[in-house]
Each structure stands twice: as structure tokens, then as C-alpha cells.
């Protein structure tokens, strides 16, 4: 009798595993889209009061600039998550770091536009720009070192 149940159980397990993969991909897609939408909204809306956790943050403060910078990280994370779901190739760590740094800088520039320019913001923006340039240079250098004649 056990021999009869094994093929049925195996078929159900394989079927459930396939559905679970689809469910997890759908869940990750929703999380990626929500992260990108909230991050973009937080970066480019002049007022942060639309989100309950940020309603006490006043414009022109360091906290508002920090929230906009971190919103760039949410956008980059959502983008990398969506790219991971639909890409068949591996996404390299250098590429992920470039996306994170570049979207963080977009959020930083948005913070400079809406919150004003302070000395600390100039320093962090210039350090972030140097970091992005360094990541791009090193990433291109490593790509040139790869041997495609395997």
C-alpha cells in the first residue's frame, strides 16, 4: 500500500514546489514594486507628511535630508530585487553596489533640492560621488580582466 502512495506524494510535492516558487516570485515582485514606489515618492515629494512615520519631520532639517537619501536605497533595493527575479544571469556584487550608491545619490540630490544645502550635505554628497566613481572604475577594470576564452 505504501508503494502506491509514494508516486502520489512525490507528484504533489513537485507540484507544490512549483507553485511555491511562483508565489515567492510574486511576493518578491510586490515587495520590489512597493519599495520602488515608496522610495520614489519619498525622494520626489516636497512634503514628507504623507507617510505617518515622517509626519513630525520638518523640511530643511538633517532628518529630512537623511530620509530622502535612504529613500534612494529603497529604490535601488527594489530595482535589484525585480531584476533578480526576472534575470537569468547572475547580478554581480559590483553592479549592485553601483545601483545602491547611484540611487542613494539621487535621493541625496533630491534632499539638497528640497531641504537646502548645508556643509554636511556637501561633504556627504562629494564622498558619495567619489565612492560611485571608484565603484565604476574598479568594476570596469575587473570586467576587462575577465577571461571569456574558457
Domain range enclosing 92: 2-145
pLDDT score of 72 more than 80: yes
139 grid coordinates: 568594476
Per the prediction, the chain carries an average pLDDT of 82
Does any domain span residue 40? yes
* Rounded to 5°, angle at Cα 132 from 43 and 57: 25
What is the rounded distance in angstroms from the CA atom of residue 32 to the CA atom of residue 95?
A: 17
Does any domain span residue 120? yes
Q: Confidence class of residue 15 from pLDDT cuts 50, 70 and 90?
A: low
Does any domain span residue 99? yes
pLDDT value at position 63? 87
Does any domain span residue 101? yes
Query: Of all residues in the chain, what percent are helix, strand and coil, respectively (each to 5)?
Result: 80, 0, 20
pLDDT digits (tens, 9 = 90+) for 22-46: 888 888 899 999 999 999 999 898 8
Does any domain span residue 150? no
pLDDT score of 19 more than 80: no
pLDDT score of 150 more than 90: no
Does any domain span residue 34? yes
**What is the pLDDT averaged over residues 89-115?**
86
**What is the pLDDT averaged over residues 128-149?**
82
Q: How many domains does the chain have?
A: 1
Does any domain span residue 114? yes
Does any domain span residue 56? yes
**What is the pLDDT averaged over residues 46-65?**
84
Amino acid at each position: 500500500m505504501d508503494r502506491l502512495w509514494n508516486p502520489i506524494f512525490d507528484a504533489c510535492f513537485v507540484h507544490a514546489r512549483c507553485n511555491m516558487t511562483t508565489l515567492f516570485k510574486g511576493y518578491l515582485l510586490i515587495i520590489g514594486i512597493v519599495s520602488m514606489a515608496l522610495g520614489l515618492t519619498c525622494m520626489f515629494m516636497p512634503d514628507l507628511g504623507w507617510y505617518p512615520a515622517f509626519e513630525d519631520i520638518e523640511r530643511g532639517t538633517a532628518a529630512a535630508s537623511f530620509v530622502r537619501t535612504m529613500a534612494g536605497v529603497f529604490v535601488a533595493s527594489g530595482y535589484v530585487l525585480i531584476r533578480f527575479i526576472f534575470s537569468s544571469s547572475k547580478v554581480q556584487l559590483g553592479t549592485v553596489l553601483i545601483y545602491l550608491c547611484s540611487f542613494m545619490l539621487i535621493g541625496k540630490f533630491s534632499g539638497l533640492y528640497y531641504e537646502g544645502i548645508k556643509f554636511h550635505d556637501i561633504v556627504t554628497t562629494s564622498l558619495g560621488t567619489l565612492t560611485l566613481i571608484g565603484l565604476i572604475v574598479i568594476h570596469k577594470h575587473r570586467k576587462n580582466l575577465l577571461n571569456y576564452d574558457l
